[in-house]
């Protein structure tokens, strides 16, 4: 599977963004799409995951409330909506695919085998 993330940009604090991740290629056997972010000089951190059929969602504790993950299976696309953006949300955001739901919700980077190229989000104060 190939993943293509988009939707990042420069946003003022308090604004919203919806990131998209289009999956192409062979998706059979995939169990989850996850979103991660990586700020400059920091490790990549898990944000949220959604089952490939879109029926189950899981959020990192630190991200609950302002972030909504979703999927449109007719478009083979996943989304990450971030509301009330804060400067500390500034990071490169990555989507990734995992072949196992239980390992996907661990938020462990190696649990995901396929990664998109990342989309940059910059939040100005």
Query: Tell me: the pLDDT tens digits for 11-68?
Result: 999 999 999 999 999 888 999 999 999 999 999 999 999 999 999 999 998 777 899 9
User: For the chain, what is the total number of helices (H) and then of strands (E)?
Assistant: 1, 11
* Model confidence band, residue 102 (pLDDT cutoffs 50, 70, 90): very high
pLDDT of res. 64 = 73
As a whole number, mean pLDDT of residues 93-99 equals: 98
* Nearest alpha carbon to residue 30 among 1, 9, 6, 59: 1
With a pLDDT cut of 90, the percent of the chain lying above it is 93
């Amino acid at each position: 599977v190939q993943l293509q993330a988009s939707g990042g940009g420069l946003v003022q604090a308090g604004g919203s963004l919806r990131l998209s991740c289009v999956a192409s290629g062979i998706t059979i056997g995939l169990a989850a799409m996850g979103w991660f972010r990586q700020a400059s000089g920091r490790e990549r951190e898990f944000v949220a995951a959604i089952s490939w059929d879109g029926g189950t969602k899981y959020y990192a504790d630190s991200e609950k409330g302002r972030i909504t993950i979703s999927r449109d299976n007719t478009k083979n696309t996943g989304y990450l909506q971030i509301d009330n953006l804060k400067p500390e949300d500034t990071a490169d955001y990555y989507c990734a695919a995992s072949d196992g739901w239980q390992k996907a919700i661990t938020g462990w980077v190696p649990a995901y085998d396929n990664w998109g190229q990342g989309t940059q989000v910059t939040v100005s104060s």
